[in-house]
Structure 1
């Protein structure tokens, strides 16, 4: 009989790729979806609405990380072999505007899920989605021994979730791991995140639908990887004999300006003709440079990145151009990459 997994945040970028990965390995996948008046499952529709093979099933459940009792009941009913906590308010800039909500969902949500696992008494392994934003102002390169210095409510909430995971591992013997993932992108990235904001704008500018792209800090340095590769690292963490924490990153850095130039060049455009500065997109406290050292993941998990950010930028631009062309033609397009 195949394994089963529960994924919070299943409708997001990482959730959709992780779902595909686990289904390919014969898992039954259960996903938490917040009840809403509108559908937000487009990243999963090609799975959920298509034919499902026996033993490879996706089931969605209405639940929320704010409801600890519902989490306990669901875990007792499902008894999953693995739990992946990807649910969060994950937009750094938005966390300054909604700090309490971010703290509750991103920080306390992780604690509620850990406590639900303990209280339900089930035997499972849990992955906590930690973030490079926890390092904040600490100079790169950053690895598992680097001190945290978060520079946003989101980063603070992720630090809380990280230490809660460590605490439940040490206090209750839970098989609980932290994946400290650096920025990872794809054509499925949300449109308000900087990389997708750029590549979507490139497609619209090339099509004559947009004249300008307004940006904030172009000097920020980030370590961008490819999301489908990063969910593979998540899974590998839960297959180890001993729970531990791992940095997942490419080690190759680029500035937002460099990503802009690469993305516009992929469409035959000069970024400087279209990009303008707008201070409203700056953060109250900036993170200057995040560059990860994933040596531990390479050694113990056998994981290495293959797609680096220049190729990633081109992939995302091509996908956004194809998607926009399909929309203008009145046809649907599925983003597989």
Structure 2
């Protein structure tokens, strides 16, 4: 009835106002009304929407001071977001807090941590350990796909990404994007182009906050690699850069599009921007620049310089390193054919 609807509306407004007070650091105004679930809801928004990992850590520390009085499930969720934020910040404190989480989540979070700091080989090991303990485990499988993509093992990534996509009834844009990327650069299968088009359309109509970024990135790559349309690919990727200027992955996509069309000048420019913008002491950023340089050497036909450049990669699986050297020390006929 209308009274019930009014009550539910009041409750929703009340919860919204409390969450806003926490996120905007006005906790003192509502402190006497707070319960741990309010903190958890706010931490999720700070992590997922605002990407404000420092505030997540501060909130978690505040609430966990009284963890003996908190429901076990909520406490575990709060510590999960604490560990994810510490991993995002590449904070060594992660290794202390993770000891209070066990089972498949322990291995998953360690895999996530190693992925953040660029230790690809250890990330693969931990994600596979998590999947051995719990199957299905969509988060672990999704992250493992990203690790395999990062070492250009597109066939393995494709199998995992396709499985994730088909199991996901809600059409998570991260699963759609991973499936698109691994299929685009991976195996030749019947109806490949139509599947890629369908995935782009799914991203276009998806309401998730990350879908728009993925839509532009996938459309740009499709225009470059499938349609061989440099002008449209550059328009799409530049649109993504304008809308998401702080997203390093958009810049990486642009580099690969420039490589497809042998635009050496713009490739050099992107390397310069990346070196100025990101901390190269971090393994992920270091490896990204090394791989940029490998691809630039390959475009120039300077194959003899590639093995020594490739061996500068850090925490890179040995088998993947061998495949990388073999791939880029052969003439890049696949670029001319539009297959990258």
Same fold (TM over 0.5): no
Q: TM-score, normalised by structure 1?
A: 0.29
Q: TM-score, normalised by structure 2?
A: 0.29
Q: Which structure has more helix as a fraction of its residues?
A: 2
Q: Which structure has more strand as a fraction of its residues?
A: 1
Q: Which has the larger radius of gyration?
A: 2
**Greater RCO (CA < 8 Å, at least 6 residues apart):** 1
